[in-house]
Structure 1
Amino acid sequence: MRARPLWFNFQFFTAPLRWRGIIFILGDAAGRHEAPMKSPLFPVTLAFCVGILLSGRLSSPIPQLCLATLALLLLMWLLWLRKKTRLCFGVALLTFLSLGTLWPPIHEASFQSNHLRTLVQSGKIDLAEPCRITGICSKSSVQRGGIGEQVELEVEQIENRYSRFSTRGKIRLALYYKKANHDRENSDAPRGQDLLNSTKGVDATNGSTQAAPAHPVLAAGDRIEVFANLTKPKNFNNPGQFDYVSYLERQGVFLVGTIKNDLLITKLATGQGSFLIRPIWKLRAALLDKLNAGFTASEEVKAALRALLLGEKQGLNSSVEKSFQATGIYHVLVISGQHVAVMAAFFFGLFKLLHLPKGASVPSTMLALVVYCLITEAQPSVVRATLMSCLFLIGLSFDRDRNLLNSLSTAAVALLLVDPFWLFDPGFQLSFLAVLSIALIGLPLLRYTTQPYRKALWQIEEDSLDAQFSARMADFRIALRMKIEWLGTQWKLSSFNLNRHVIILPLKVGLHLADVLLISVSIQLVFFVLMILYFHRVSLISILLNVLVVPLVGLIVPVGFLFLLLAFIFPMVSLLGGKLCAWLTYNLLLLVQYFASPSWGNYRVPTPPAWLVILYFLSLSLFLVFSHKKMFSAWCAGVATLALMLLLVDPFNPTFVPNHLQVTFLDVRQGDSIFLQFHDKANMLIDGGGLLGRSFGEDFSEESFDVGEQVVSPFLWSLGLKALDGVVLTHAHHDHMAGLYSILDNFRVSEIWLGQNPYTLEYVRLLKEAIRKGVILRHYGSGDQVLFHGGQMMFLNPDKDHSPSSL
């Protein structure tokens, strides 16, 4: 009997490529159920994670925790010597629980006294004055609209008039480009048009535009000295907000600031950095240049390719990002485990085609994956997938068992030992839970559905192998051979192999698509809840859309990289591949934008009750653990299904204090936004805030940061709201109006109250959007009185005789 080819394990390009996971494990692991007892590292990792979660709630000093952990280690060693295996395993869980509790304070204490984080927390750096910073640029990306660059600087020294520190850590800086003056074409522009122009890169005060240079001012590896105004990053202080400060700290960024002019930058040297990272920076820059120059496509397609291949998302159009988010497949735009898995299969297959022996192809693939991880800036999901891929390849090299849960656990512990606070990062959770759902739900599903048929197709011409299969699969093989022979008779073809391919190939494609669908279902059982918790999104179409998108991205990524590499050697040959890759990406964008409509089951939901989330995950976990007990597992499955339906439908009433008028002033930075909750559950939102157009110093750029979507809406969702009884626009200035577009998209608004506002383009667009959604528009002026849910509203402005732009 012929041995199964290694290529089958990878199922190159056509296997279920989702998901932050390792596609080639499916070929081996799907045929067996990986129970937790066969994966001893999995419960140990869970204990370590629980310890990290408990660390913030315990006040025990570090010495006591160290003594407890050492005592447990000693007890575990003694039990191991006495061969008390079960008891030793239980003590091992307690040991890792204790170690997890101990690790965050150890990590906090590991920062040296001169580290930037320590200096910032201690207040030793005076941020009231501009600072002179010396360091190496590790990242520079041009912002949308060409208004400037966002720079990350590895700090070596920071000083101002009072102090000087040699330090380590990152600072994120916003460099604004110089302005180019021009005469205003329309001096009679209506009042409010100036501020509208500022969102389009035109300065409102002097009619200037941003003069973006042909190439970025700074590049990775530049050692510079710069004067900048620095500040600590800040969160929006409203319930339900994203913890932006903690996110930056996990990226190693502890200060943000602005550079008002590139004249404040002095380049001291280029090509700096460690001897290992310098080639990576140069290679990434070269690949970006080749992609921009070698792919003849629209800027929208190029931006999508930069995101798909290199993780460069700065040039993405906001409407494209929203489409991917709405359809639940944003994961393909960020470099994740799916991309690493595809590249692993690509590199391994390439080295096999070059006839490299296994002893050379495996380490070469591992080296290529590490380089790819560094080129794409080594995000946690990419590091996790790279570690798992390398573990798989090592097991492949030594013909050892390749256990998905063990490799996942090893990758998780490795990352958490570096920084235990990654456990609280949404990306980390999504990445690891995706692979966990594949291991615990997806692979058993494949085992009982598609895998028997896949195995039955192997060497279908050998009737002597039928006895090795079950009766049902043996009958399936016999029926296929009869169909192949009948086809040969009808078409008068003597070649059995040709007839076999005509029958078998469509079956294999169908099985691969079924694999993608089943894996997508298993992941969505977890992702539906996480997407609701973190992003308040539900995309019912995402399950089916992944069947189309995942194989497509699995083709775009390796083909794009292959022709990017060929561009350095055979530029003319790479043009053909570039056109193919651009065409595939263009169709990907069309597909996503078509299914982004709410009519395809894409909608927003408020924050669910905590007890419902706990009930769902508890019942799902009990179902997986006790799946061998039919009655109990059926009850658990029913409870989990009911909980999931409640999460998707959200039939719960908003939270409010009865018989009281609540007024909440939201933190929206620029402008105002005020929320009123009346005694009879009615509500009203006054203004929606809005950032000024040319501000991206804290990553809050008008192009990429929507106050209505990311500040006001999360607060309303945290109250359980899905509808607003009234919205008031006090005046049609950008910093009061810009957030209302997302409010109209995310909530059912009954009516909008307006004053006498100038009909600027931005204001007219808001009115058209409200009319399109069936919102009632009401205009009020001085002296009007309205009874609104038991409250008497009196309007003081504007006077009805003239039209100032405020109520």
Structure 2
Amino acid sequence: MRGQVSVPDRPANFGNFDYNTYLRRQGIQYLLLPRPEGITVISRGEGSFPVAHALKVKESMLAVIKDTLPTDQAGMLQSLLFGERAALDTDILQQLEKSGVVHLLAVSGLHVGFVAGLGYGLGRLLKWSPRFSALVSGLVAGFYLMVIGFRASVLRAGIMLWIGILGLLLNRRSDSITALSGAGLLLLLVQPGFLFTPGFQLSFGATWGILYLSPLLVRALSFLPRWLACSLAVSSAAQLATGPILAYHFCGIATWSVFNNLVAVPLAGAIMSLGLISCGAGLFFLPLARLLAATNSILITLFLKITAISASLPFAYLYVPPPRPAFLVVYYALLVLLPRLVAARGDGKGGNIYCRVAAVVLVFFLLFSWIFPFLGSGYLEVTFLSVGAGDAVVVTLPGGRTYLVDAGPGGLEQGYDAGANVIVPYLRRQGVRRLELIFLTHPHQDHWGGLAEVTAGIPVGGIVFSKLFKPEEYGLTDTFTIPFFEVGAGDKLDLGRGVECEVLHPPATPLTGTNDDCNNNSLVLLLRMGAVSFLLTGDLEEAGEKYMLQYNRVPQAVILKVAHHGARNSNGREFLEQIRPSLAAISTGPNSSGHPHRETLERLDLLGIKIYRTDVDGAIKIRTDGKRVWVEKARGEGK
């Protein structure tokens, strides 16, 4: 085999999934992109017999599902049974996320438990002894693991199941917490990288919460009927244990999930059980599978209706910034301490004073570590996001108020939307709940294409544009109910907290007859805090630069957003000499225009300007207190 060897890229934006680290934790250092003509097939194999047979059974079962259910319902059952999310409609997936039951699609201990339960129930139905039935359930679960793949969550469940079965066979009681610890230790000895994966953390976290906290919660809910108290306790314990983990990895919490799971989990269990029986029947007699699938179709429809209603409830899903490590440490310390606190309170002797003092201190630190990020950093932060061949600049004031300059490429015809894929996820990870204003420098798709997704995902106070940008011509006034504001050269905005924004271009009468009137009438903004200023130039070209020079509208600035992605006919020498920046940020990505052009890079270099590029450095975050400047790159060390 021949091909090109490469090192996996670091994430292009802060907080993105780190594919490089993910692979390294699995012992993979390099990627090979093979050339089709360089591949020679020497021989073919099917792998080990058990796994190969299990995969064939899986393919046959998937075919039965597709043949017996409508497309949407087939995708739902495939996801529930085998974790095949690619078959699930995107809208349904979002619905399950907002209702807090998406964990049912992550094949885990719940699924292994259902399968093992079916195996055990079958054994008892056939009058087999409890021990032999348990052994059968373990073998059935083992075969299921081969079908779905050996993931951390299912391996945990499989190991715990077999520890329990061995205890039954040897007449030894198995302690669940010990079994959980043993399963975790065994998995981490084999693959230490599991520790940092969401699947491992959520699976072990939920199981620990159920085992450790649910007895306490059952006692607290003793005024309820036993079945309801147990159900609520299990659901609440799992949510308490996994809530911060979900917030850390996915920046969101489904607020009604405890109650939704009371209905969703038993219903999903019935759907899975009937689905497995239907698939098994379909391997031998398809008409029977269709009859069973017709019944299952009713259950799946009910499941989707319930989750749709719960996802539409007020505050069904709250986006939150990922909690800081200090918060996580204190939070889980409190969870561990909780049963001891309750026991100390009920001992009739005033309780353990040391335990109570520790709890008070932990609660104080918990609240402080939660509130601290919302207090603001005290710095002006300007982040040039890596959105490919386009622009998107996030401006965060001391105190946290946030603005956006341009919204990157996007739209249906682009096949990629910076708003949905980059900007909104970044803002949510930063804890941004509202954009005060969005500045659109000019009406080119690579600068405003992601606007619709941004406004759909984050509340926006208003959209600012220049005279050349006519929102009604682009259907924006029909699409958005957000206020629009027109600005031009000479306008000034006091953004607050000592930060000023001055509009330097375009003039009251737009430039015409240039090489590109749209680019040359770009909105040019000067952000200033103390002695530090940022010049944001949109896609300004030579004609626009000459006009600004002619009318003395080119200020000095410490940081320059290089115009037009570093195009050859932008960023002229005289223009750069007038600005005299120390740092220059180029927002660019793969493109057919040759941006940034070699001559532009040479001009910047000759003037001693430090260059940062989003296609090389990833997102560029520049922080200032009005006197000093710090630079942080998504791909590399800050300077």
Q: Which residue of 2 aligns with 1:246?
A: 21
CA, structure 1 residues 681+421, in 2 after alignment: closer, same or farther (shift >3 Å)?
Answer: closer
Q: Which residue of 1 aligns with 2:63?
A: 289
2:139 pairs, out of 367, 374, 385, with: 367
Q: Which residue of 2 aligns with 1:84?
A: none
Q: Which residue of 2 aligns with 1:224?
A: none
Indicate if the aligned counterparts of 2:131 and 2:168 stay in contact, CA closer than 8 A: no
2:483 pairs, out of 769, 776, 783, with: 776
**What's the CA shift for 1:641?**
7.2
Q: Which residue of 2 aligns with 1:573?
A: 288
Q: Which residue of 1 aligns with 2:463?
A: 752
1:541 matches 2:262: no
Whole-Å separation in 1 of the counterparts to 2:479 and 2:369: 29
1:236 matches 2:11: yes
1:399 pairs, out of 164, 171, 178, with: 171
Q: Which residue of 2 aligns with 1:674?
A: 393
Q: Which residue of 1 aligns with 2:279?
A: 564
Indicate if the aligned counterparts of 2:311 and 2:317 stay in contact, CA closer than 8 A: yes
For residues 257-276 of structure 1, the aligned pairs below 5 Å read 272-276=46-50
Q: Which residue of 1 aligns with 2:454?
A: 743
**What's the CA shift for 1:691?**
7.2
Q: Which residue of 2 aligns with 1:445?
A: 217
1:796 pairs, out of 506, 520, 523, with: 506
**What's the CA shift for 1:575?**
0.5
CA, structure 1 residues 253+377, in 2 after alignment: closer, same or farther (shift >3 Å)?
Answer: farther
Q: Which residue of 1 aligns with 2:493?
A: 787
1:279 pairs, out of 53, 78, 90, with: 53
1:77-104 superposed Cα distances (whole Å, 9 cap, x missing partner): xxxxxxxxxxxxxxxxxxxxxxxxxxxx
CA, structure 1 residues 292+718, in 2 after alignment: closer, same or farther (shift >3 Å)?
Answer: closer
1:716 matches 2:427: yes
1:590 matches 2:301: no
Q: Give the structure-1-normalised TM-score.
A: 0.56
Indicate if the aligned counterparts of 2:393 and 2:404 stay in contact, CA closer than 8 A: yes
Q: Which residue of 2 aligns with 1:324?
A: 96
1:376-412 superposed Cα distances (whole Å, 9 cap, x missing partner): 1221101111111121122223332121101101110
Letter in 2 for 1:414: L
Secondary structure of the equivalent of 1:725?
A: strand
1:516 matches 2:231: yes
Indicate if the aligned counterparts of 1:616 and 1:643 stay in contact, CA closer than 8 A: no
1:404-446 superposed Cα distances (whole Å, 9 cap, x missing partner): 1011011101110111121111221111011111111013333
CA, structure 1 residues 805+647, in 2 after alignment: closer, same or farther (shift >3 Å)?
Answer: farther
CA, structure 1 residues 345+246, in 2 after alignment: closer, same or farther (shift >3 Å)?
Answer: same
Letter in 2 for 1:302: A
Q: Which residue of 2 aligns with 1:186?
A: none
1:26-70 superposed Cα distances (whole Å, 9 cap, x missing partner): xxxxxxxxxxxxxxxxxxxxxxxxxxxxxxxxxxxxxxxxxxxxx
Letter in 1 for 2:406: D
Indicate if the aligned counterparts of 1:753 and 1:779 stay in contact, CA closer than 8 A: yes
Higher relative contact order (CA 8 A, sep 6+): 1
Q: Which residue of 2 aligns with 1:308?
A: 80
Indicate if the aligned counterparts of 1:654 and 1:720 stay in contact, CA closer than 8 A: no
List gaps (5 residues or longer) in structure 2. Answer: 346-350, 523-639
CA, structure 1 residues 416+608, in 2 after alignment: closer, same or farther (shift >3 Å)?
Answer: closer
**What's the CA shift for 1:663?**
2.4
Tell me whether 323-332 or 627-636 shows the greater mean CA deviation: 627-636
1:727 pairs, out of 432, 438, 442, with: 438
Count of aligned positions: 505
Secondary structure of the equivalent of 1:778?
A: strand
Secondary structure of the equivalent of 1:355?
A: coil
Indicate if the aligned counterparts of 1:405 and 1:439 stay in contact, CA closer than 8 A: yes
**What's the CA shift for 1:741?**
4.4
Whole-Å separation in 2 of the counterparts to 1:585 and 1:643: 45
Secondary structure of the equivalent of 1:688?
A: coil
Whole-Å separation in 2 of the counterparts to 1:626 and 1:258: 57
CA, structure 1 residues 358+528, in 2 after alignment: closer, same or farther (shift >3 Å)?
Answer: closer
List gaps (5 residues or longer) in structure 1. Answer: 1-132, 134-158, 161-228, 454-506, 696-700
Letter in 2 for 1:656: S
CA, structure 1 residues 639+744, in 2 after alignment: closer, same or farther (shift >3 Å)?
Answer: farther
Whole-Å separation in 1 of the counterparts to 2:453 and 2:100: 18
**What's the CA shift for 1:268?**
6.3
Whole-Å separation in 1 of the counterparts to 2:243 and 2:61: 36
1:628 pairs, out of 343, 367, 375, with: 343
Indicate if the aligned counterparts of 2:188 and 2:194 stay in contact, CA closer than 8 A: yes
What RMSD, in angstroms, separates the aligned Cα atoms of the two structures? 3.7
Indicate if the aligned counterparts of 1:438 and 1:522 stay in contact, CA closer than 8 A: yes
Q: Which residue of 2 aligns with 1:75?
A: none
Identical-pair percentage:
26
Whole-Å separation in 2 of the counterparts to 1:265 and 1:317: 35
CA, structure 1 residues 395+593, in 2 after alignment: closer, same or farther (shift >3 Å)?
Answer: same
Letter in 1 for 2:464: W
1:653 matches 2:377: no
Q: Which residue of 1 aligns with 2:632?
A: none
Indicate if the aligned counterparts of 2:83 and 2:105 stay in contact, CA closer than 8 A: yes
**What's the CA shift for 1:573?**
0.9
Whole-Å separation in 1 of the counterparts to 2:399 and 2:128: 74
**What's the CA shift for 1:351?**
1.8
CA, structure 1 residues 655+759, in 2 after alignment: closer, same or farther (shift >3 Å)?
Answer: closer
Indicate if the aligned counterparts of 1:271 and 1:278 stay in contact, CA closer than 8 A: no
Indicate if the aligned counterparts of 1:670 and 1:691 stay in contact, CA closer than 8 A: no
Whole-Å separation in 2 of the counterparts to 1:449 and 1:662: 48
Secondary structure of the equivalent of 1:405?
A: helix
Whole-Å separation in 1 of the counterparts to 2:440 and 2:184: 48
Secondary structure of the equivalent of 1:586?
A: helix
Indicate if the aligned counterparts of 1:538 and 1:602 stay in contact, CA closer than 8 A: yes
Whole-Å separation in 1 of the counterparts to 2:305 and 2:173: 42
Secondary structure of the equivalent of 2:214?
A: helix
CA, structure 1 residues 383+719, in 2 after alignment: closer, same or farther (shift >3 Å)?
Answer: same
Letter in 1 for 2:335: L
Whole-Å separation in 1 of the counterparts to 2:316 and 2:362: 21
CA, structure 1 residues 718+570, in 2 after alignment: closer, same or farther (shift >3 Å)?
Answer: closer
Secondary structure of the equivalent of 1:378?
A: coil
Indicate if the aligned counterparts of 1:620 and 1:636 stay in contact, CA closer than 8 A: no
Indicate if the aligned counterparts of 1:604 and 1:746 stay in contact, CA closer than 8 A: no
Tell me whether 277-286 or 229-238 shows the greater mean CA deviation: 229-238
Indicate if the aligned counterparts of 1:272 and 1:278 stay in contact, CA closer than 8 A: yes
Q: Which residue of 1 aligns with 2:180?
A: 408
Q: Which residue of 1 aligns with 2:246?
A: 531
Indicate if the aligned counterparts of 1:606 and 1:722 stay in contact, CA closer than 8 A: no
Q: Which residue of 1 aligns with 2:321?
A: 606
**What's the CA shift for 1:578?**
0.9
Whole-Å separation in 2 of the counterparts to 1:647 and 1:320: 35
1:431 pairs, out of 203, 206, 227, with: 203
Q: Which residue of 2 aligns with 1:215?
A: none
Q: Which residue of 1 aligns with 2:403?
A: 684
**What's the CA shift for 1:511?**
3.5
Q: Give the structure-2-normalised TM-score.
A: 0.70
Indicate if the aligned counterparts of 1:672 and 1:687 stay in contact, CA closer than 8 A: yes
For residues 5-404 of structure 1, the aligned pairs below 5 Å read 133=1, 159-160=2-3, 231-250=6-25, 272-295=46-69, 297=70, 299-404=71-176
Whole-Å separation in 2 of the counterparts to 1:612 and 1:732: 43
1:659-699 superposed Cα distances (whole Å, 9 cap, x missing partner): xx54221223443321223467543212333579899xxxx
Letter in 2 for 1:594: I
Indicate if the aligned counterparts of 2:374 and 2:400 stay in contact, CA closer than 8 A: no
